C-alpha cells in the first residue's frame, strides 16, 4: 500500500498515523501467517449454519472466514442477496432491515468489543492511530445462493483468556448465542508467523510520463 509522505492541509492525518491505520486495518504485508487450527460452528438450524474457518494469525492480529451455508435457496436472496445480509456495507444505498442482517461480534477477556454494527473506517486514521480498541474489519468475500464466505481482519491480538464470538441472525431463526475459544490458540499461532522481510519504506510512486499532445491548437498547451 502506497502512503504519501507529503503533508496535507491542517487537520489531515500525518503519514505516521496513516501507517498505523494501515496496520490496524489490514494484515502486515511483510509477514506469512500461521494457522491456528480453529474451525468453529457458531450456530445452526435445520436450514442454516454459520461458523468460522481459516483462522490465521499475524504478529498484529488475526483474520478468519465467516462461513455461511443454507440448505435451500430463497428466491428473495438470489443474485447476491445472501451476501448483502452478511456485509451490507458492500451494497451502499440499499437498506437492509436489522432483523434480516447476520450480526457478528467479538469480545476479549479485558472487555474490549467490536461488531459488524460498527465501522471503524468512519473514524479516520487520526482517531484510530495508537488506539488499542478492538478492530473488526471486512476484507472481501464471495457468495452464491447457498454459500457465502466473508473474510474479517481482527486487531490487535487478544490478551490471555477467552475470545467470545457472538452471533445473531433472527431472520434465519438463530437467536443471540456466544461461542468461546481460548486465545492461547491464536496467540501461539501468532508466534509462529514468519517475518519475510523488514517493512518497506513508503515511497512516492514515479510520475507517469506526460500524455502526448497535438502539435498545434488549444490542446497543444498544457494548463498553466
pLDDT tens column, 93-151: 456 788 888 999 999 999 999 998 876 555 555 555 456 789 999 988 888 889 999 99
Q: Residue 108: CB partners within 8 Å, gap ≥ 6? A: 134, 158, 159, 161, 163, 183
Taking the CB of residue 43, how many other CB atoms lie within 10 A of it? Answer: 20
In 116-223, at which residue ranges do the beta strands (DSSP E only) sit? 135-143, 147-155, 162-169, 174-182, 194-195
pLDDT score of 113: 95
Is the CB of residue 60 less than 8 Å from the CB of residue 155?
Answer: yes
Residue reference for cell 437498506: 95
Residues 49-67: tens digit of each pLDDT: 999 999 999 999 999 999 9
Q: Residue 224: CB partners within 8 Å, gap ≥ 6? A: none
> For the whole model, what pTM was predicted?
0.79
Amino acid at each position: 500500500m502506497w502512503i504519501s509522505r507529503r503533508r496535507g492541509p491542517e487537520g489531515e492525518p500525518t503519514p505516521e498515523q496513516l501507517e498505523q491505520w494501515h496496520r490496524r486495518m489490514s494484515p502486515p504485508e511483510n509477514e506469512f501467517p500461521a494457522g491456528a487450527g480453529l474451525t468453529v460452528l457458531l450456530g445452526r438450524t435445520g436450514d442454516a449454519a454459520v461458523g468460522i474457518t481459516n483462522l490465521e494469525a499475524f504478529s498484529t492480529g488475526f483474520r478468519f472466514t465467516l462461513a455461511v451455508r443454507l440448505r435451500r435457496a430463497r428466491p428473495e436472496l438470489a443474485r447476491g442477496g445472501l451476501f448483502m445480509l452478511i456485509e451490507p456495507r458492500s451494497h451502499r444505498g440499499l437498506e437492509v432491515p436489522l432483523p434480516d442482517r447476520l450480526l457478528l461480534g467479538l469480545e476479549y477477556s479485558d472487555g474490549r468489543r467490536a461488531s459488524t454494527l460498527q465501522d471503524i473506517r468512519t473514524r479516520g486514521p487520526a482517531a484510530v492511530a495508537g488506539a488499542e480498541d478492538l478492530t473488526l474489519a471486512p476484507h472481501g468475500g464471495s457468495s452464491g445462493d447457498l454459500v457465502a464466505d466473508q473474510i474479517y481482519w481482527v486487531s490487535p491480538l487478544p490478551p490471555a483468556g477467552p475470545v467470545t464470538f457472538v452471533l445473531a441472525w433472527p431472520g434465519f431463526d438463530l437467536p443471540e448465542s456466544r461461542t468461546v475459544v481460548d486465545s492461547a490458540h491464536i496467540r501461539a499461532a501468532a508466534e509462529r508467523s514468519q517475518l519475510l522481510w523488514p517493512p518497506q519504506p513508503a515511497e512516492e510512486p514515479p510520475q507517469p510520463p506526460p500524455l502526448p499532445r497535438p502539435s498545434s491548437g488549444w490542446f497543444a498547451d498544457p494548463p498553466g
